[in-house]
Chains A and B, each alone.
Chain A
Amino acid sequence: MAKTYDYLFKLLLIGDSGVGKTCVLFRFSEDAFNTTFISTIGIDFKIRTIDLDNKKVKLQIWDTAGQERFRTITTAYYRGAMGIMLVYDVNNERSFENIKNWIRNIEENASADVEKMLLGNKCDLADRRQVSKQRGEQLAVEYGIKFMETSAKASINVEEAFYTLARDIKAKTEKKLKEASNPTKSGGHALRAPEISRKPPVWLARCSIL
């Protein structure tokens, strides 16, 4: 029997080419880092199972190519994603500005319920920084999503980021469940007063027989 897990979350990494999506993923999945830059071809994914509140959560993390020419391939994977990591490079102003476009891309292609998160990668290179942490935070607040600065190279916040996203998704399952379960059963979706008030008479009646 295969390794069992309780949840399978599909995550997606998007962002401009060269911001370090693959490296972030590589750090997370294999805890390693490689300086060579090889642009992803189309799409790839990695799997890691993590433990959240004693539940085994399998993360299938799709790593997309940032390059424009793969856009048609990568957008096809948006829809199935439950969580999306938007990655930019803190040393690259352009990649930060493009986050807006990526968000628009998500809105067009991804499911409305998707959980998003913003990552400013390469935060270890302090001297070359172009985008301040505040700006990142501000942008995240603007879109109502969480934000973290990470570094795949120095292994800063990578774990935390994925854990946070997974936890958010897991919390969302429960929220969704509440919404979904109520209309589920045709019989009763709200606790109705009559049902409650009817109970005592039944008991009374039985008591009187006794």
Chain B
Amino acid sequence: MGLSKRQASCPKSKIAYRMVCEDRVTGLQKRLSFRATSYPYGGGTLHHYRASFADFVSNTCHQQKSINPETVIRRAEALDLSEQERVGRLVDRLENMKRNCVSAGNLSGSADTSHSRYSCALCGEKFTVLGAGPAICKDCRKHICQKCGIEATMVSCGSQIGFAQNSQRPRLFLCRICSETREMWKKSGAWFFKGLPKYVLPDKKLERGRPRRTSRASSWAVVNNLRSLESLEPDSSSDEDAGRRLAMSRSLGTHEASSPTPTLAEEKNNRSSTPVFGPRGDAYSRQNSGNAGDYSNGLRSASATDVGQSQFSSTASVQPLPSPRGSGHGMQGRNSGQGFQSQFMNEHRQTSSDQLNSNQVHSFRKDSIESSSSQGLMMLDQNQSHSLLHYHEMDPEILVVNNEGPINNQNHSEALQQIVRGLTAAAGDGYGTLEVSLLYDPAAQYLQCRVQRARGLRPMDIHGLTDSFCKLNILPIAIGSPSQRLRTKTVHKTRDPEYNEMVTFYGITETDMKNGRALHILVLQDDRAGKDFLGEAKLPLCQLQPYRMIHYNVYLENHCQVEHEEEVWGEDLSPRGQILVTLSYSTRRRALLVNILRAANLPAMDSNGFSDPFVKLYLIKRPEDNSQQTSGSFSNVQYNKKKESRKPTSAIYNTGIKWKTLNPEWNEEFAFETRLTDLTSQMLCLSVWDKDLGKSNDYLGGLILSCSSKGERLRHWIDAIKFPDHRHQAWHSLQEDPIPTE
């Protein structure tokens, strides 16, 4: 291929005509192939050659500049951005108006019209007897004065049909806000998209550097209160298809924002190396090839730093240094080959999201240098994944920046894409850390473990919180001997749980200590619907010395499979069995397709040792609420459901019955017609039943997938929403609690 040769010859060519379709290629080839080879690689000639090629292409392609789809997409993205800004300006304008009007509080609420009857709802002017009387806004029914009212016929909402019949009524008013709302509804394209398209709020000069609260309520929004969460994301999808707008419920944002728990706002972790745990007394060096050490994240505030995070027995020094390369997005720090025994902690605790400053990026580096090295010195690099929403809080600013520098656009959006990807990938190996103190007493033959706290666990629910507990066991165990596993209490709703609990293993002999056994600590999410894995730590017992308390601060790692998993850790696998489900939202059919593939290890319900399972599934509106709702409180669900209109949003489906099996394969697909944006407020309820003839069916297990699920179930659901038209398949454990039924 002459063309490709040519490209090889000038790889840096800005002219990226890489994707030229075949028929055109053949045309180009004829003229180019011989020329391409005849040109040497030299700079001058190359340039000349490039120019001639450009000429040629532009001649042939009659100024069709964008041959390359990439450039088309880039142009489209740029346009989208400017459009988003424009819509943002409209939104901002409207919100300003709302803020400035007198009865700001009343506008959203409706009831209290009595006291506003005598004064204008907008400007507060009293209606005098002699003056012109109040008018009533047609939309919001507020009393407004003549100045604030705009005669509806003048507003060009005059679709003739609508007003023809109204024309007998002499005066129809719209208050300024309502008319502005209408205008914006039209201008933003919301009329078409049935909701406000994504937008970027304009950057205020005064508030420069302060991320606008993106979870701002727009009370006027019509049909769906949902706003696309994607709107806060970078334009990551090259596909600018507006219909694929992925929506997340607004409540996400607000919940998160109002969450009192301080959340860690570290940068995404691109750690390439895993924490090392070696024999005691060693020093650990750690070289981060990527960007681990120096985290320049957009945090800038004194209160944002939390010195006390260093949990070492030694002293920690904290040095905030502004990064020399304060880049637009705090992603590129580099710190390679730091000396031994240095540890980087970047626990930037975000006390208030308002303190995020992404415009003036300063980077903080906190080096906690541990001077007195104790045994079991651990590298600590706290950089687990963000809770879902923190990225989004930062993004709008970045988007604005993008627009100012369109050339940077690509880099930014790539970086942002990475963030988003990292988010979905649960940030690689960022399991967080665990602090434990161990004390071995050879005389009494016990091992005392003080499980102090974990830090930076992975978020498990939609609010980015976790309900964790630890399971401890000394492995490997002798087969047949009773497992000694112990557990701590559950600490709810935090990613930085303080267990502070003492558990003791008795009957540990000195030979046990020497023969290479290790204390394994599993951190798990406490959820009735299945124990999600949060991390595991292994502490070799041979490091311990009698009567000497050793403090460990270790990284949590991926689960280490051991033999006889079930005996060791107990029935982590749900006793109710598992089910394999595929979710995919079809934008073409506008339906959620649920494929029930198969189930495994179902409990036996019939006397023959089998069950006759079938699955009942339906999609209903998730009860409003309630951060409180654990997936266990189904009585609550049922109650709410009865209270609210109990219309299932779709039909109830049943799979076929598979007779006499505990591992049925259905492979049946069901379509629930719904809108993608509604999925955030809906939940998919699956329940597996044992068909019994002549008596009522036995309940085998259930599964709920929704935004209030946790762990893997949440991820599965979110993935299905975020990436429509893809099949998302996952195994889920069935839970014992009954699923709300019709």
Q: Which residues of A contact B (CB under 8 A)?
A: 2, 4-8, 10, 22, 26, 30, 32, 34, 36, 38-39, 41-45, 47, 53, 60, 73, 76-77, 79-80, 82, 108-109, 111, 113, 171-178, 180-181, 183-188, 191, 195, 202-203, 206-207, 210
With contact pairs A41-B19, A44-B64, A195-B141 given, residues A6 and B187 touching in the complex (Cβ less than 8 Å): yes
Contact between A108 and B72, CB atoms less than 8 A apart: no
Q: How far is the CB of B179 from chain A (nearest CB, A)?
A: 10
A172 CA to B186 CA, complexed, in Å: 9
> In this complex, what residue of A is CB-closest to B68?
A41
Complex contacts, A176 vs chain B, CB 8 Å: 191-192
Q: How far is the CB of A170 from chain B (nearest CB, A)?
A: 8
Contact between A7 and B60, CB atoms less than 8 A apart: no
With contact pairs A41-B21, A82-B189 given, residues A195 and B136 touching in the complex (Cβ less than 8 Å): yes
> In this complex, what residue of A is CB-closest to B243?
A79
Q: Is B110 an interface residue (CB 8 A)?
A: yes
A108 CA to B590 CA, complexed, in Å: 10
A30 CA to B63 CA, complexed, in Å: 10
Complex contacts, A7 vs chain B, CB 8 Å: 186-187, 189
Pairs across A and B, CB under 8 Å, 12 listed: A7-B186, A36-B60, A39-B21, A39-B23, A73-B69, A76-B241, A80-B241, A109-B588, A173-B192, A174-B159, A178-B161, A191-B169
Q: Is B86 an interface residue (CB 8 A)?
A: yes
Contact between A80 and B240, CB atoms less than 8 A apart: yes
A36 CA to B62 CA, complexed, in Å: 8
Q: Is B104 an interface residue (CB 8 A)?
A: no
Complex contacts, A45 vs chain B, CB 8 Å: 72, 75-76
With contact pairs A42-B72, A80-B243 given, residues A181 and B185 touching in the complex (Cβ less than 8 Å): yes
Partner of B82, one of A2, A32, A53: A2
* Interface hits, B134-159 → A, CB 8 Å: 136, 138-141, 156-159
A185 CA to B121 CA, complexed, in Å: 16
> In this complex, what residue of B is CB-closest to A179?
B191
A22 CA to B62 CA, complexed, in Å: 11
Contact between B191 and A180, CB atoms less than 8 A apart: yes
Contact between B129 and A210, CB atoms less than 8 A apart: yes
Partner of B182, one of A36, A80, A175, A181: A181
Complex contacts, B20 vs chain A, CB 8 Å: 41
> In this complex, what residue of B is CB-closest to A115?
B192
With contact pairs A8-B86, A44-B72, A185-B141 given, residues A79 and B60 touching in the complex (Cβ less than 8 Å): no
Complex contacts, A207 vs chain B, CB 8 Å: 129
Residue among A5, A185, A195 facing the most chain B CB atoms (10 A cut-off): A185
Q: Is B616 an interface residue (CB 8 A)?
A: no
A129 CA to B194 CA, complexed, in Å: 42
Complex contacts, A36 vs chain B, CB 8 Å: 60-62
Q: How far is the CB of A26 from chain B (nearest CB, A)?
A: 8
Partner of B162, one of A4, A10, A173, A178: A178
With contact pairs A38-B24, A39-B21, A178-B159 given, residues A203 and B138 touching in the complex (Cβ less than 8 Å): no
Contact between B72 and A173, CB atoms less than 8 A apart: no
Q: Which residues of B contact A (CB under 8 A)?
A: 19-21, 23-24, 60-64, 66-67, 69, 72, 75-76, 79, 82-83, 85-86, 110, 117, 129, 133, 136, 138-141, 156-159, 161-162, 166, 169, 178, 181-182, 185-187, 189, 191-192, 194, 220, 222-223, 239-244, 587-588
Complex contacts, B169 vs chain A, CB 8 Å: 191
> In this complex, what residue of A is CB-closest to B192?
A82
A43 CA to B70 CA, complexed, in Å: 10
Contact between B186 and A177, CB atoms less than 8 A apart: yes
Partner of A38, one of B60, B66, B69, B75: B60
Residue among A26, A76, A207 facing the most chain B CB atoms (10 A cut-off): A76
Known: A2-B82, A174-B158, A181-B139. 4 other contacts (CB 8 A): A5-B86, A80-B243, A187-B140, A191-B166
A77 CA to B243 CA, complexed, in Å: 9
A173 CA to B588 CA, complexed, in Å: 24
Complex contacts, A183 vs chain B, CB 8 Å: 222-223
With contact pairs A42-B69, A79-B587, A210-B129 given, residues A184 and B23 touching in the complex (Cβ less than 8 Å): no
> In this complex, what residue of B is CB-closest to A189?
B139
> In this complex, what residue of B is CB-closest to A79?
B243
A173 CA to B83 CA, complexed, in Å: 17
A177 CA to B179 CA, complexed, in Å: 11
Contact between A173 and B186, CB atoms less than 8 A apart: yes
> In this complex, what residue of B is CB-closest to A9?
B189
Q: How far is the CB of A22 from chain B (nearest CB, A)?
A: 8
Complex contacts, A8 vs chain B, CB 8 Å: 83, 86, 189
Contact between B86 and A79, CB atoms less than 8 A apart: no
A28 CA to B192 CA, complexed, in Å: 24
A178 CA to B117 CA, complexed, in Å: 26
Q: How far is the CB of B128 from chain A (nearest CB, A)?
A: 10
> In this complex, what residue of A is CB-closest to B240?
A80
> In this complex, what residue of A is CB-closest to B590?
A112
Contact between B157 and A174, CB atoms less than 8 A apart: yes
Complex contacts, A184 vs chain B, CB 8 Å: 139, 181, 220, 222
A4 CA to B138 CA, complexed, in Å: 30
> In this complex, what residue of B is CB-closest to A36?
B62
Contact between A180 and B222, CB atoms less than 8 A apart: yes
Contact between B69 and A4, CB atoms less than 8 A apart: no
Complex contacts, B67 vs chain A, CB 8 Å: 41
Q: How far is the CB of A138 from chain B (nearest CB, A)?
A: 28
Contact between B157 and A203, CB atoms less than 8 A apart: no
Complex contacts, A6 vs chain B, CB 8 Å: 187
With contact pairs A8-B86, A41-B67, A174-B186 given, residues A187 and B243 touching in the complex (Cβ less than 8 Å): no
Complex contacts, A186 vs chain B, CB 8 Å: 110
Partner of A175, one of B62, B63, B159, B181: B159
> In this complex, what residue of A is CB-closest to B174?
A181
Q: How far is the CB of B228 from chain A (nearest CB, A)?
A: 13
Q: How far is the CB of A105 from chain B (nearest CB, A)?
A: 11
Residue among A5, A26, A47, A188 facing the most chain B CB atoms (10 A cut-off): A188
Contact between A79 and B186, CB atoms less than 8 A apart: no
Contact between B117 and A202, CB atoms less than 8 A apart: yes
Complex contacts, B159 vs chain A, CB 8 Å: 171, 174-175, 177-178
Contact between B157 and A43, CB atoms less than 8 A apart: no
A176 CA to B223 CA, complexed, in Å: 13
Partner of A177, one of B66, B140, B185, B194: B185
A80 CA to B668 CA, complexed, in Å: 32
Q: How far is the CB of A39 from chain B (nearest CB, A)?
A: 7
With contact pairs A82-B189, A109-B588 given, residues A206 and B110 touching in the complex (Cβ less than 8 Å): no
Complex contacts, B138 vs chain A, CB 8 Å: 188, 191
With contact pairs A39-B21, A177-B182, A188-B141 given, residues A77 and B241 touching in the complex (Cβ less than 8 Å): yes
> In this complex, what residue of A is CB-closest to B79?
A60
Complex contacts, B61 vs chain A, CB 8 Å: 36, 38
A22 CA to B244 CA, complexed, in Å: 26
Complex contacts, B72 vs chain A, CB 8 Å: 42-45
Q: How far is the CB of B354 from chain A (nearest CB, A)?
A: 27
With contact pairs A41-B67, A178-B162, A202-B117 given, residues A4 and B86 touching in the complex (Cβ less than 8 Å): yes
With contact pairs A173-B191, A175-B159, A202-B117 given, residues A34 and B62 touching in the complex (Cβ less than 8 Å): yes
Complex contacts, B75 vs chain A, CB 8 Å: 45
3 A-B pairs with the lowest CB-CB distances in the bound complex, closest first? A79-B243, A80-B242, A34-B62
A108 CA to B243 CA, complexed, in Å: 13
Q: How far is the CB of A197 from chain B (nearest CB, A)?
A: 13
Q: How far is the CB of A21 from chain B (nearest CB, A)?
A: 12
Q: How far is the CB of B544 from chain A (nearest CB, A)?
A: 61
Q: How far is the CB of A49 from chain B (nearest CB, A)?
A: 12
> In this complex, what residue of A is CB-closest to B83?
A8
A181 CA to B19 CA, complexed, in Å: 46
Contact between A44 and B66, CB atoms less than 8 A apart: yes
> In this complex, what residue of B is CB-closest to A109?
B588
Complex contacts, A22 vs chain B, CB 8 Å: 64
Contact between A185 and B139, CB atoms less than 8 A apart: yes
A171 CA to B241 CA, complexed, in Å: 23
Contact between A206 and B129, CB atoms less than 8 A apart: yes
A27 CA to B117 CA, complexed, in Å: 57
> In this complex, what residue of A is CB-closest to B117?
A202
